[in-house]
Amino acid sequence: MVSVFAIPTGTLAAIITILYLATRTIYRLYFHPLHKIPGPKLAAASHCVEFYYDVIKGGKYIFAIERMHQVYGPIVRINPRQVHISDPEFYDEIYTSAARPRDKDVYATARLGSPLSVISTNSHRHHRLRRRVLNNFFSKQSVMSLEPLIQEKCQLLARYFERASRSGTLVRVNDTLAAFTSDVIAHYCYGESYHYLENPDGKNHLKEGLGGLLLLVHVFYFFPWLPRLFAIIPIQLTRMLSPSMSALADFQLRIRKQSAETLSDITNKTKKNGNEQQTIFEALVDPSIPAEERTIERLTDEGVIVLGAGSETTANNMALCLYHLSENPSVMQRLRNELEQVMPNPTSTASWAELERLPYFNGVINETLRLAIGGSWRLPRIPTEETLRYKDFMIPQGTPVIMTQYFVHMNPDIFPNPTKFDPERWITATEQHHNLAKYLVPFNRGTRNCIGLNLAYAELYLGIAAIARRFDMKVEDTTADNVMLARDYGVPHSETGCWNVKARVVNVLTK
């Protein structure tokens, strides 16, 4: 008989590892609480499939999951821990009100590299505490009070398009609109704009920083300790190791500096602020907020997320809308005819409230949000106080459950010919008293929905109206593939990278 002590250490370690992996695999496949949920065995046994598609192939697991649903049905186990459901009627069972608490999944929130932000707060109760401070700033009433600022930025945007028309410049539409949305959210956060709209073709630190973060979300998901490691590495070394991480680090340093300034200025600001409107970050460092919530680290994390979320997604939505309007002249003309009701001249302005009452414009905005797939990533929710039942399957309490926006918005049973830009489908649904809006979830639902949805809507309505009423654009070097989800990096990417619409302003309307 061979003594265990006679086995070489390396061999013994290998045997133990193999036994551990074999035991874990058997448990996951045959004894785990999710073992009855359909799905491929390899995905149920390990995260290797998910890693391969999202990290190695680059944001492709969303399409592997789509194929799983085609084979296994509307409920599948996509990894050892998580269940994915493709059934729009079940959406509100996962993304619920406060009466049915949902925590977030710690691995999913780690991918943003900002653990102290509201969006990355895992606990339902802690999330409510942090979000309560921000809710008032993003209510519809508060955003309406911000409308003069948005209108001012719309005029700067229009002036840029006028200059582009005179010079024949090929406009990078996504970059230009990111300058618009970045200036708005920066002013709301800190009380001053970054002035990107003064030179939309110049460097946009916010866009570059967010772009760096998005390219790393899948890596951070599997290696949640990496952001902390990069935080202690000298910035010069970071620039050498990873261009994506370098852009993010530069952006974080900029936000950290502003956070420190906000903290140091708060005493004087409080004394003189009487009639001045408080900024978002002044509210976050108000003395009434618990001290542990008023740290530079927390403000930096929140700044990265609020600024990033408040710029990139809305800019992409607007660019997608302008692309489809340019490619569909009949849609553009019908929209322009309707806009004339509240904007009699091309240079007229209309309020958000007036624009919201235009039925065809509503259809254009809804169809834009449907096709834009603003959040392409998986958003797990963990039922903390109940076991969910989906048809004949019981989903144990504590299981991360997911539905993905893409599977709702591109469902052909709800949206026939789902890849077509068709504002008319919303008009028809209204006439037939069909609540199609039930299946429009660009900002998610429930207590964890996107807090900035009202600001996004205001920018969409006001920005698109200002451009569509006044300018004719011709798309160049851009196809539908450039504005279609081909890779999931949190927000949609094409096969070649970020969405990138290019166009020339070919006419400026005068009447």
Calculate the alpha carbon distances from 56 to 61, 219, 313, 328, 493 in Å.
Answer: 10, 10, 25, 37, 16
Tell me what percent of the residues of the chain surpass a pLDDT of 70: 96
8 A C-beta contact, residue 426 and residue 113? no
Torsion of CA 340, 346, 347, 353, to 10 degrees: 30
On the question of pLDDT at 423 being above 50, the answer is: yes
- Which pLDDT value is given to residue 271? 47
Tokens describing residue 189: 């956060």
8 A C-beta contact, residue 198 and residue 156? yes
Rg (CA), the chain: 24
Q: Tell me the DSSP string of 448-475.
A: TS-TTHHHHHHHHHHHHHHHHTTEEEEE
Model confidence over 305-343: pLDDT tens digits?
Answer: 999 889 999 999 999 999 999 999 999 999 999 999 999
Task: Name the least confident of 79-83, 275-279, 293-297.
Answer: 275-279
Pairing mode, strands 497-498 and 102-104: unpaired
CA distance 75 to 86: 6
8 A C-beta contact, residue 349 and residue 449? no
CA distance 218 to 201: 29
Residue 154 assigned to a binding site: no
Model confidence over 112-153: pLDDT tens digits?
Answer: 889 999 999 999 999 999 999 899 899 999 999 999 999 999
Task: Name the least confident of 11-20, 34-43, 491-500.
Answer: 11-20
- Which of the 8 DSSP states describes residue 56? I
8 A C-beta contact, residue 66 and residue 55? no
Say whether 414 sits in a helix, a strand or coil: coil
- Which pLDDT value is given to residue 247? 77
On the question of pLDDT at 206 being above 90, the answer is: no
Superfamily in which the 81-508 domain is placed by CATH: Cytochrome P450 (1.10.630.10)
- Which of the 8 DSSP states describes residue 439? G
Tokens describing residue 274: 């009487």
Say whether 346 sits in a helix, a strand or coil: coil
CA distance 30 to 34: 9
On the question of pLDDT at 371 being above 90, the answer is: yes
Model confidence over 256-269: pLDDT tens digits?
Answer: 888 888 888 765 55
The number of angstroms, rounded, from the C-alpha of 368 to the middle of its chain's C-alpha atoms is 15
Q: Given pLDDT bands bounded at 50, 70 and 90, which one contains residue 177?
A: very high
Say whether 382 sits in a helix, a strand or coil: strand
Model confidence over 1-11: pLDDT tens digits?
Answer: 455 557 788 78
H/E element holding 505? Answer: strand 502-508
Q: Given pLDDT bands bounded at 50, 70 and 90, which one contains residue 392?
A: very high
CA distance 157 to 398: 47
- Which pLDDT value is given to residue 5? 56
H/E element holding 491? Answer: strand 491-494
Calculate the alpha carbon distances from 145 to 9, 134, 212, 266, 358 in Å.
Answer: 69, 15, 33, 23, 21
Task: Look at the pTM and tell me if it is higher than 0.85.
Answer: yes
On the question of pLDDT at 503 being above 80, the answer is: yes
Q: Which residues pair with 37 in a beta bridge?
A: none
- Which pLDDT value is given to residue 272? 45
Q: Annotate 217-235 with b (16+ C-beta within 10 A) or e (fewer).
A: bbbbbeebebbeebeeeee
* 3-state helix/strand/coil string of 205-263: HHHHHHHHHHCCHHHHHHCCCHHHHHHHCCHHHHHHHCHHHHHHHHHHHHHHHHHHHHH
- Which pLDDT value is given to residue 297? 92
- Which pLDDT value is given to residue 239? 72
On the question of pLDDT at 458 being above 90, the answer is: yes
* 376-390 mean pLDDT: 96
CB count within 10 Å of CB 418 equals: 15
CA distance 179 to 199: 8
* 399-419 mean pLDDT: 98
8 A C-beta contact, residue 119 and residue 436? no
- Which pLDDT value is given to residue 269? 54
Model confidence over 273-291: pLDDT tens digits?
Answer: 555 668 898 889 888 889 8
Tokens describing residue 362: 């509503």
In the chain, where the domains are located: 81-508
Residues in the chain: 511
Pairing mode, strands 502-508 and 170-172: antiparallel
Model confidence over 214-245: pLDDT tens digits?
Answer: 999 999 999 999 888 877 877 777 777 777 67
